[in-house]
Amino acid sequence: MKYQVDGPEDAPVLVLGPSLGTTWHMWDRQVPELSQHWRVFRYDLPGHGGAPAHPATAVGDLADRLLATLDGLGVQRFGYAGCSIGGAIGADLALRHPHRVASLALVAASPRFGSADEFRQRGVIVRTNGLEPMARTAPERWFTPGFAAAQPAIVEWAVQMVRTTDPGCYIAACEALAAFDIRTELGRIGVPTLVLVGAEDQVTGPAEARTLVAGIPDARLALVPGASHLAPVEQPAAVSDLLLMHFSTSWQDTIAAIPAPPVAPALSAPVLPVAEIAPAAVRPDTGAAGGGEAYANAVKVRREVLGDAHVDTVNASADAFTEDFEELVTRYAWGEIWTREGLDRRTRSCVTLTALVASGRLEGLAAHTRAALRNGLTPAEIKEVLLQTAVYCGIPAAGAAFAIARSVIQEETTPPA
């Protein structure tokens, strides 16, 4: 892990975690003041800022890598402040390693970052177009319009940070955020917590911050006026003052007060590398008569492949006449076939697209073209699959398939305006 340390060697350690697409330099303006009181440890996410490009597909994996680095430095107890995905890492540490975290600050964070579908599509866009679309739109996500207009140099710095990030690591981080969901776990965070958010944050704003404060027993809310998602950059003095006050007054002797858990539950367990964009959180499906762990896993896989929006639409249209059929499809197609280890999901998508064209069942082609993109196939690879079907399944069938697939690919891979 690539890291930077500032401040007295004998001072308590304060860890600062970055946001997706940024580097440790997003905390530059806080370091002079914080390093007077703490040994400030900043780190880069994999593939960010020149850090080794070893993708991590789960927040828990990122947290474990950070702990391994701190262990190597002999750091047992530390305060932690993290922005966005950096905040998710801090929350994961407070849940799985509460005896290590002395105090916590969650900046521009959320117990659930948007929807899994949003992060899957972001991964598809990056895989197809590279990071330029994310770089181009970063200023509007990160800063208020007034700040962006008044600080062109900082805006260009932000754009360059995203452009120089490793695409595979960015996609993996999107996968980690897609799987992250601690809404039901907030009550177990037992360390003093500051929830800090920019008043004009449109990414993870005041509503998400209030959800954190309502769920975490010992949490306080700090709303920063005139700031959006990267509040430490946009309002550095205000953020520095809030962090200084919080960590100066809420530093708990966690190693003595909280014993190490005998078994650390994995809240964001790593997923198998069957695709670059990955799992949505399992949610109960209404209308399905099935139950049990195997059926729940089938539902999970169906959502991972087809997306929450598609499955929710199918469930909403189910009734007493069709619900048994939907259960049959979920149990056998998604629980028996798509979960087998003999083929990865990319290959299964190739087979499925071919079968749909060969059988003339093109009503399912749009959903499975979208699934193929999210399972890691590129538009060029989907084109090759359909060209193959033209030879073996017929020109008319392939022609109709090309029309459907082109529409879906344009929709899924077109960057936001």
3-state secondary structure of 233: helix
Confidence of residue 2 (pLDDT cuts 50, 70, 90): very high
How is residue 282 annotated by DSSP? Answer: P
The pLDDT assigned to 241 comes to 96
Q: Do the Cβ atoms of 106 and 126 come closer than 8 Å?
A: no
pLDDT digits (tens, 9 = 90+) for 185-207: 999 999 999 999 999 999 999 99
Q: Which amino acid is at 82?
A: G
Cα 417 to Cα 226: distance, rounded to the nearest angstrom: 24
Confidence of residue 270 (pLDDT cuts 50, 70, 90): very low
The DSSP element (H or E) to which 224 belongs, if any, is strand 219-224
Q: How far is CA 26 from CA 43, 158, 246, in A?
A: 11, 9, 20
Identify the CA nearest to 22 among candidates 239, 233, 237, 276.
Answer: 233
Confidence of residue 289 (pLDDT cuts 50, 70, 90): very low
Instruction: At 122, list the tokens.
Output: 């972001």
What is the value of pTM for the model shown? 0.79
The larger pLDDT score, comparing residue 34 to residue 327, is at: 34
Q: Do the Cβ atoms of 308 and 219 come closer than 8 Å?
A: no
- pLDDT at 164 > cutoff 70: yes
Confidence of residue 277 (pLDDT cuts 50, 70, 90): very low
Cα 320 to Cα 39: distance, rounded to the nearest angstrom: 62
Measured over the CA atoms of residue 346, residue 351, residue 357 and residue 361, the dihedral's sign is: negative
The pLDDT assigned to 43 comes to 97
The pLDDT assigned to 369 comes to 94
Supply the DSSP string of 167-216, one letter for each residue: HHHHHHHHHHHHH---TTTGGG--S-EEEEEETT-SSS-HHHHHHHHHHS
- pLDDT at 292 > cutoff 60: yes
Supply the DSSP string of 14-64, one letter for each residue: EEEEPPTT--GGGGTTTHHHHTTTSEEEEE--TTSTT-------SHHHHHH
- pLDDT at 328 > cutoff 80: yes
Supply the DSSP string of 393-405, one letter for each residue: H-HHHHHHHHHHH
The pLDDT assigned to 319 comes to 86
The pLDDT assigned to 121 comes to 87
Q: Do the Cβ atoms of 298 and 284 come closer than 8 Å?
A: no
Q: Which of 2-16, 265-279, 328-342 has the highest mean pLDDT?
A: 2-16
Supply the DSSP string of 75-143, one letter for each residue: ---EEEEEETHHHHHHHHHHHH-TTTEEEEEEES--SS-S-HHHHHHHHHHHHHH-SHHHHHHHHHHHS
Residue with tokens 């595979």: 168
Report the greatest alpha carbon distance in the chain.
74
Confidence of residue 126 (pLDDT cuts 50, 70, 90): very high
Q: What is the mean pLDDT of residues 72-81?
A: 96
Instruction: At 303, list the tokens.
Output: 């959502």
Exposure string of 285-324, with b = 16+ CB inside 10 Å and e = fewer, is bebbebeeeebbebbbbbbbbbbbebbeebbeebeeeebe
Residue with tokens 């190739």: 350
- pLDDT at 272 > cutoff 50: no
The pLDDT assigned to 417 comes to 65
The larger pLDDT score, comparing residue 260 to residue 172, is at: 172
Point out the least confidently predicted range of 156-160, 221-225, 312-316, 356-360. Answer: 312-316
- pLDDT at 330 > cutoff 80: yes
Residues 6+ apart with CB under 8 A from 3: 24, 41, 42, 43, 44, 69
Identify the CA nearest to 128 among candidates 163, 171, 169, 97.
Answer: 171
3-state secondary structure of 13: strand
Instruction: At 51, list the tokens.
Output: 């850090």
Q: How far is CA 115 from CA 81, 99, 119, 252, 378, in A?
A: 24, 31, 7, 34, 22
Q: What is the mean pLDDT of residues 370-380?
A: 89
The pLDDT assigned to 281 comes to 39
The pLDDT assigned to 274 comes to 33
Q: What is the mean pLDDT of residues 257-285?
A: 42
Residue with tokens 């929807």: 115
Cα 297 to Cα 323: distance, rounded to the nearest angstrom: 18
Q: What is the mean pLDDT of residues 94-121?
A: 93
Cα 117 to Cα 123: distance, rounded to the nearest angstrom: 10
Average model confidence (pLDDT) across the chain: 88
pLDDT digits (tens, 9 = 90+) for 10-61: 999 999 999 999 999 999 999 999 999 999 999 999 999 999 999 998 999 9
Confidence of residue 229 (pLDDT cuts 50, 70, 90): very high
The pLDDT assigned to 255 comes to 61
Strands 219-224 and 193-198: parallel
pLDDT above 70: percentage of residues in the chain: 91
Q: How far is CA 224 from CA 31, 180, 200, in A?
A: 19, 25, 8
The pLDDT assigned to 415 comes to 83
The pLDDT assigned to 201 comes to 95
